[in-house]
Amino acid sequence: MTELNYNAPKEVKELRIINTIELEDFAQEIVPHGGFNYMAGGSGDEFTLRRNVECFNFKGILPRMAADVEFPDTSTKIFEHELKVPFIMAPIAAHGLAHESKEAGTARGIREFGGSLMSISAYSGASFEEISEGLGDTPRWFQIYMSKDDELNKNILDEAKADGASAIILTADATVSGNRHRDDRNEFVYPFGMPIVSRYLTGTGANMSLNNIYGQSKQKINLDDIRFIKEHSELPVFIKGVQTPEDALAAMGAGADGIWVSNHGGRQLDGAPGSFEVLEEIAVAVAGRVPIVFDSGIRRGEHIFKALASGADIVAIGRPVLFSLALGGWKGVKSVFEYFETDLKRVMQLAGTQTIEDVKNARLKDLK
């Protein structure tokens, strides 16, 4: 595939992270303008993008004192995977915009950290083989954007399973591109190809716009797609983009093995509430029958804590990982995972919670 002239950062170094908010500012200094705004931007007026982070301030953690906590245990389990932390890499397209190592760099950083999991986007800039080399034995899930041709969908599911994917993520909130003003102003196109989707969609090389790519994907997702993926892949299926209890229940009725609460990081429907604002009511409806993964807006350990206390089983992190990849390559990715682990342990100790189960039972206070 022909690649456009795109000067992605190349440096590999450990990062000293004080907080992840400032990573965005640092990354903006070194990532090409169009690529940075694609990663950092949202849709429309970016209300939902901002709300995703801000809404965590509407709930407060009620700490328990003298709780005999010295060394908090962050380990947890999702399906067959024993993890040392309750957070994973969210599926995000085109890591090559952040760093020349692309998803292979992200994968190695997660492997070197150890005890987490990577969600691989179908819109990756690296191939299954390249990502696999970085991951080694690290668990991975695969996020599919459905083709309009089910035979091609079967092919990509077969390839993902052969690559070691242990679950499939059906993204249901991105059948068309959000109204992304930053990308429109910059006339953004992907500067490199997407090897995974190029296997089953045509014309997905360099110089493709968002509308070009979304236009080739299935734009009429329904509950039958859950059944189709389960039947063909014989793997657990998450439905990603759930924002209402009704949709969670409908997905479970169609056989979904997990619910992924997300608004696509504020990149799709602007004007939607923050993802955290809808989590608790969805968790009440799900009632522990299937696991819940949560994403959108995670920037601190306290955000992870609050999401778990509101019903999530696993938290997925996106932009902070990409910005860390830009700043330090695989070592930057390892650094940001270490930051979140340390920050979560600090919050757990201060809140008087020894285990992740204790966190899930912690009390939050409405601050509105």
Sequence spans of domains, the chain: 35-366
101 annotated binding-site participant: no
Give me the pLDDT at residue 113, please: 99
What is the rounded CA–CA span in Å between residue 7 and residue 284?
47
Q: What angle do CA 47, 49, 50 make, to 5 degrees?
A: 70
What is the rounded CA–CA span in Å between residue 233 and residue 157?
6
Give me the pLDDT at residue 200, please: 60
Of the candidates 278, 265, 348, the residue with the CA atom closest to the CA atom of residue 310: 278
User: Is residue 232 annotated as part of the catalytic site, yes or no?
Assistant: no
Of the candidates 108, 83, 103, 105, the residue with the CA atom closest to the CA atom of residue 93: 103
Give me the pLDDT at residue 223, please: 96
Of the candidates 108, 149, 138, 151, the residue with the CA atom closest to the CA atom of residue 126: 108
171 annotated binding-site participant: yes
Q: Which CATH architecture has domain 35-366?
A: Alpha-Beta Barrel (3.20)
Give me the pLDDT at residue 3, please: 56
319 annotated binding-site participant: yes
258 annotated binding-site participant: no
Q: For residues 206 and 190, is the Cβ–Cβ distance under 8 A?
A: yes
Low-confidence stretches of the chain (pLDDT < 50) are 1-2
Of the candidates 304, 299, 293, the residue with the CA atom closest to the CA atom of residue 344: 304
Give me the pLDDT at residue 204, please: 59
299 annotated binding-site participant: yes
Residue 293's beta-bridge partner residues? 260, 314
Q: What's the CA dihedral at 348, 351, 355, 358 to 10 degrees?
A: -140
Q: For residues 39 and 319, is the Cβ–Cβ distance under 8 A?
A: yes
The tokens for 362 are 């912690």
What is the rounded CA–CA span in Å between residue 283 and residue 170?
19
Give me the pLDDT at residue 231, please: 97
Per DSSP, the three-state class of 48 is helix
329 annotated binding-site participant: no
91 annotated binding-site participant: yes
38 annotated binding-site participant: yes
Distances (CA, A) of 18 to 118, 192, 222, 260, 338: 24, 33, 43, 29, 12
Report the run of H or E that residue 242 belongs to, with start and end: strand 237-242
What is the rounded CA–CA span in Å between residue 7 and residue 169?
31
The tokens for 142 are 């695969």
The tokens for 4 are 């456009």
Radius of gyration of the chain (CA): 19
318 annotated binding-site participant: yes
Give me the pLDDT at residue 1, please: 41
Give me the pLDDT at residue 2, please: 46
Choosing from 95, 99, 264, 303, the catalytic residue is: 264
262 annotated binding-site participant: yes
DSSP assignment letter at 311:
T
Give me the pLDDT at residue 201, please: 62
Given the structure tokens 């999702």, which residue do they identify? Answer: 78
161 annotated binding-site participant: no
| Helix boundaries (H) for the chain | 21-28, 33-40, 47-54, 102-113, 128-135, 150-162, 181-186, 195-198, 210-216, 223-233, 245-253, 275-286, 301-309, 319-351, 356-360
Residue 165's beta-bridge partner residues? 140
Report the run of H or E that residue 368 belongs to, with start and end: none
Q: For residues 308 and 356, is the Cβ–Cβ distance under 8 A?
A: yes
316-333 b/e (C-beta count within 10 Å ≥ 16 → b) = bbbbbbbbbbbbbbbbbb
